[in-house]
A and B are shown apart, each in its own frame.
Chain A
């Protein structure tokens, strides 16, 4: 029998504390895994774990409560902003965020997100946009790109028949109740880093007492898109960003400071 000495290697990166050990049900290369990891990293770095209440949506991300080691409420389809409104109002000390896909937020839940934003609810919204209904088999969503083939638009989305993709974050940015609205992507490590900064800013704004903060994240659905994971990432960085440009649409709390990123130290 041998006695093991402590590991002397200097740690650069490890799985965040608030990400559970469970293996996720997501398909290989799914963007949800990366975004879950970013949320877990931020909540860990900002010491928000004990005070956070997440609101999970319906869709592939319905099991987010199994993967993030924080308190969670599951909401009916599209109603996460309404549930989060209630949670935040009865627990004003809590940090509250919703985690919603595009089928949830931009389709069935459009009314809820618009009115929660109009009321300026003090919640953070993480909006994962992969332009498709992943869980039900890759059907066309309101966010599907023009010309994109899905199982319910096999010849590609046509504007005459199915209308145009909804730029929901730009729409919400018009409302004065929205303190921060931005769009990032997960197409490569530098984009992931910028998206993490946007999420940090959104979380800081809630902590500083601002109104709704929303970060849309362009994500992938390799299986639904009929691509490999690396091809799907390239598709986001070359095609999807043309319809959904990246950047900060509005920051109405410019005077409020942003917390420090440990990577920038």
Chain B
């Protein structure tokens, strides 16, 4: 499955469910530091595609489990993550 980068102005309601992360997959170099640091193990490299830089970019595998802890954003050397707070009561 190809990764699509949602534009920031895309309304949450239009997607039907809450998206905690915006990932700038075009800048990701697939170093996998975030994959190892994610406490919920919901980040993985998308090995089915390569981005323009020639790397397998990271993707969020399960948006419902992500807690918006932002550890991925704090370790990322290429600042690909934008993190949003999960609305109260929406964590499954």
In the complex, what residues of B have CB within 8 A of residue A247's CB?
A: none
Which residue of A2, A7, A188, A229 contacts B31 across the interface (Cβ within 8 Å)? A229
Residues of A in contact with B, size category: 35 or more
Classify the secondary structure of B's interface with A: loop
B74 close to A8 (CB less than 8 A) = no
Which residue of A7, A16, A189, A233 contacts B9 across the interface (Cβ within 8 Å)? A7
Digitize A215-253: 1 where CB-to-B-CB distance is under 8 Å, 0 elsewhere. Answer: 000000010000011100100000000000000000000
B30 close to A28 (CB less than 8 A) = yes
B85 close to A192 (CB less than 8 A) = no
B81 nearest in chain A by CB position: A13
With contact pairs A4-B9, A6-B11 given, residues A12 and B77 touching in the complex (Cβ less than 8 Å)? no
B75 nearest in chain A by CB position: A189
A27 nearest in chain B by CB position: B29
B32 close to A228 (CB less than 8 A) = yes
Complex Cα–Cα for A2 and B78 (A):
32
With contact pairs A9-B84, A10-B84, A12-B85 given, residues A33 and B77 touching in the complex (Cβ less than 8 Å)? yes
**Using a CB–CB distance below 8 Å, which chain B residues touch chain A?**
7-14, 18-19, 24, 26-27, 29-33, 36-37, 53, 55, 68, 70-71, 73-79, 81-85
